[in-house]
Amino acid sequence: MTALTPISRTPVSFYVPCVALAGAIAGILVGTSQGSTLTGMLVGAAVLAIIALVATKLMQSERVARWGIVILLTTTGFFIGALPGAIIGAGFGWFFGWFTFWLFEGRYRRKLPPYLTPGQVLWHFTFRVIVGAILTFLITPILVVMPLSFNAQDFFTFTPEMLRFDPAGYSLKHYQDFFTSSDWQQALRNSLMIAPVATLLSVSFGTLAAIGLSSEHVPFRRAIMAILISPMIVPLIISAAGMYFFYSRIGLQGTYLGVVLAHAALGIPFVIITVTATLVGFDRSLTRAAANMGADPVTTFFRVQMPLILPGVISGGLFAFITSFDEVVVVLFVGSAGQKTLPWQMFTGLREQISPTILAVATILVGISIILLTVVELLRRRSERLRGMSPG
């Protein structure tokens, strides 16, 4: 790492207040945990401003300065909160070391057009901070639930042993309870019996509907599209109540077929939307060429259309599967005790018996959802490449 020039590339009046503001935000988190939010905010701002000034003005090497910040905040965190505090302090040290020199050397403008005004640069990064804060707010409950699922005690809170990272405070017993409990396993089997069949129906009907509605000669296609995707718009409790009264009259309420059809109705809109989006870039001259070569409509669909729209079909199927696998409101209205699914069992566990096994199940479902959504994103990118909308 080369030595720093004695004169900063950005003025002190710019980067020191920015680092102080970030330090105040970090101080709010630390101060709240210690019972004094205001003190934490003031101390965080003052300490980080001094650290930024010293690191940029007195240190001759960026690497040494950044490592010094990491060591300093790690040590401070250890005295405040033992090992967990040291880990958090190390994370803060790495971030503030990078953030200080990122501002000090003007690296924040390297990837931006040189003609942007200071106000535009400010909005560029402010927008990203806002988006990051919203994302953090949304994923924080998930980040809390996952470590709690390894709690060695039957509590929904972090025990002192967990906060100290004591191995005795962690256990897999809640996961063991899920895989050995007859109630949980029966609920899992019901979900695995219902979700795939509902997904198959959703994909079949949704794909055909999307292809039909993509044709310009279909009358009232906008009204039909609005009706088909209405389950995504209408409040779920209203849809569930309507299905209950309708299925009870035709004898499907409380049956396996009724639950499957209800979940299929909820999944069809996702398939229609994803397949319709895939058909936007579809070259219809290919189907006309296939017809000119003597191919019937069924052959044209499976040999020409399906390979090109397959990523969208699979994406819609994955969304339909997630919807069916995680749905609880409709199955409470339409199903019976024999169709108790995994979300229903979780709801029952929260209402009747507070069991930490719910946290283990929730963690498993989060992991499954992450894997499926990753597959959806990969398929979306593949679909864009096939349609020539993005580089290979």
**Domain C-terminal end among 62, 91, 111:** 111
Q: Per-residue b/e over 96-114, b at no fewer than 16 CB within 10 Å?
A: bbebbbebbbeebeeeeee
157, part of any domain:
no
131, part of any domain:
no
What's the rounded Cα separation, in Å, for the pair 136 and 273? 28
* Domain identity same for 218 and 106: no
The whole domain housing 217 covers 182-386
Q: CA nearest 149: which of 180, 179, 172?
A: 172
* Domain identity same for 348 and 210: yes
| Residue numbers of the chain with a pLDDT score lower than 50 | 1-8, 392
H or E element in which residue 53 lies: helix 37-57
152, part of any domain:
no
* Domain identity same for 353 and 232: yes
**Domain C-terminal end among 111, 130, 149:** 111
Q: At what angle do helices 306-326 and 342-352 cross, to 10 degrees?
A: 20
* Domain identity same for 355 and 228: yes
CATH of the domain at 282: 1.10.3720.10
68, part of any domain:
yes
Sign of the alpha-carbon dihedral angle for 114, 117, 119, 123: negative
88, part of any domain:
yes
Q: Residue 8: its pLDDT value, please?
A: 41
* Domain identity same for 290 and 186: yes
What's the rounded Cα separation, in Å, for the pair 365 and 322? 10
34, part of any domain:
yes
Looking at the 3D structure of the chain, how many domains does it have?
2
Could you read off the pLDDT of 302-358 as tens digits, one per residue? Answer: 787 787 788 888 888 988 998 898 888 999 899 888 888 888 888 887 776 677 788
Q: Residue 9: its pLDDT value, please?
A: 63
**Domain C-terminal end among 55, 81, 111:** 111
* Domain identity same for 204 and 349: yes
* Domain identity same for 78 and 207: no
Q: Residue 96: its pLDDT value, please?
A: 92
Q: Residue 388: its pLDDT value, please?
A: 59
